[in-house]
Structure 1
Amino acid sequence: STKDYSISNEVRQKFPGISFAYTIIKGVKIKKLETELEKLKKLTVESKKSVTLAEVSEITSIRNYRTMLKTTGVDTGSRRPSPEALMRRIIQGKNLYNINTAVDAYNLAVLETNIGLGGFDLAKVSQPVVLRFSRSGEEMHLLGDEEKTKTKDGELVYADTDKLLTLDLNYRDIDATKITEKTKDVILFADGGPDISPDDVVSALKKGASYIQKFCGGQVGEIILVQ
């Protein structure tokens, strides 16, 4: 059952106060583009353009994600927390990605809340999901990569019962569970951290889910916080 989602003891010991939240949005209809969503993306991007790189690195959630990733041995100069990577794109004068109406919708919420979100095709996920440390040499085929990635020991990953789903919290996702225009049910995650309040995690998740519902329809299920 979905209630069996968890955070491993090792992760909780290393990062006391860490949390994540998730929800399932059933019966979505996903398209490549939606005019209203494009308008909203433009407005949000415009509102963020004046932010400086220095200000981005001072945002509480981003600082928290960076500290966590550094603790796991990640070079955060090249592997940045997803909200930071999105903000940097905007500051560099680029737009939000155009993937599809579900992914674009939750990326909008990431930009507005600075909380990392990750969405997957529920049909491709073998529940339940756990946030844990990787073991050395676990393999994952990350979205957009030709070659498989082998994990080092102790990287932060979300995993289902038979595979790794992400690397560095929700920074990188695997190809197999990606949301496409054929996806019917979406599972959406929000990343917490030791100094990120669970309320902020839950409200970012709600925002991401409500944007998906607004632009793709569907029914948003229970919002579940895991600590």
Structure 2
Amino acid sequence: MNLKFSEEIRDRFPDLRVLSAKILGVNVERQSAELEHFKKKAIEETKKKYELEELKDVPTFRTYRDFFWEIGIDPTKTRPAAEALVRRVLQGKPLPTINTLVDAYNFASLRSEIPLAAFDYQSIKGEPLMRFASEGEEFSGIGMKKPAELNGGEIVVADSEKLIAIYPYRDSDETKITLDTNIVLLMICGVPGVEEEILNGAKRTAIDYVTRFCGGEVEE
């Protein structure tokens, strides 16, 4: 399953790159002792690598912040996902524990500096399409008590029935990863200015972590 782009998205953002990977036969659990041990190591490495006051000027994070400003999102309020994870670590806040698959790809995002998304593949209907939202479209994001009505113009990813993400920072509740997920679609969320080599590195890291802690095989 390949993500398609509308002509309007391609015209406005010709350098936008998004990678994906489909992993079959994953086993999602609530927690894993091995993953919890790995978390502690990753957190310590993150604390040594970054300084909180300088985080916004890390080149990768700066590129995502610039893109957020361009599409009308204030990155000081809605932070790019990878930066938000690093910031939580540096502030001494616990990282969210959702399930082994979500936690695994969150740590891939933490290490690669690239936002990642994951969807229950069997909840997606048809080929996903990135496009601009229409005014009044509704989106039910993870953790939202009621659907949000979009203003129009937001970058969204939709399947043939519904919106599955507001790109590149919020995923749909209807396609979220659960303990029943056995096929996952990973999305490596690029923005203009981030080279494909960096995105490929994030993809390899995400596949490594997901298969290490949840098993499964990548469909080439």
TM-score w.r.t. structure 2 length?
0.94
Distance 1:137 1:52 in 2: 41
Structure 2 segments unaligned to the other structure (5+ residues): none
Q: Secondary structure at the match of 1:16?
A: coil
* 4+ runs deviating over 4 angstroms: none
Q: Are the aligned partners of 1:115 and 1:201 in contact in 2 as well (CA < 8 Å)? A: yes
**Superposition deviation, residue 120 in structure 1:** 0.8
Q: Which residue of 2 aligns with 1:181?
A: 179
Gaps of 5+ in 1: 223-227
Q: Give the structure 1 partner of residue 161 of structure 2.
A: 162
Tell me the amino acid that sits aligned with residue 38 of structure 2: L
Within 1, Cα distance between the matches of 2:125 and 2:59?
Answer: 33
Distance 1:173 1:57 in 2: 24
Aligned residue pairs, count: 219
Following superposition, the deviation at residue 54 of structure 1 comes to 3.5
- The share of aligned pairs that are identical, in percent, is 37
Q: Is the 8 A contact 1:120 1:179 kept in 2?
A: yes
CA distance in 1, matches of 2:53, 2:157: 30
Q: Greater shift after overlay, 119-128 or 108-117? A: 119-128
Range that drifts further, 42-51 or 95-104:
42-51
Contact 1:119 1:189 survives alignment (8 Å): yes
Residue of 10, 13, 38 corresponding to 2:11 = 13
How does 1:1-227 map onto structure 2 within 5 Å? Answer: 2-3=1-2, 5-50=3-48, 51-169=50-168, 171-222=169-220
Kindly provide the CA deviation profile for residues 170-204 of structure 1, in whole angstroms up to 9, marking residues without a partner as x: x1111111101111111000011111011111221
Deviation at 1:150, TM superposition (A): 1.2
Where 1:43 maps in the other structure, the secondary structure is: helix
Q: Using the alignment, how far apart are the partners of 1:193 and 1:8 within structure 2? A: 16
CA distance in 2: counterparts of 1:126 and 1:106, whole angstroms: 23
1:49–1:93 Cα contact (<8 Å) kept: no
Tell me how far apart the structure 2 counterparts of residues 167 and 19 of structure 1 sit (CA, whole Å). 16
TM-score by length of 1: 0.91
SS of match in other structure, 1:165? strand
Distance in 2 between the 1:122 and 1:15 partners? 26
Say what the alpha-carbon RMSD is for the aligned residues. 1.4
Distance 1:10 1:39 in 2: 45
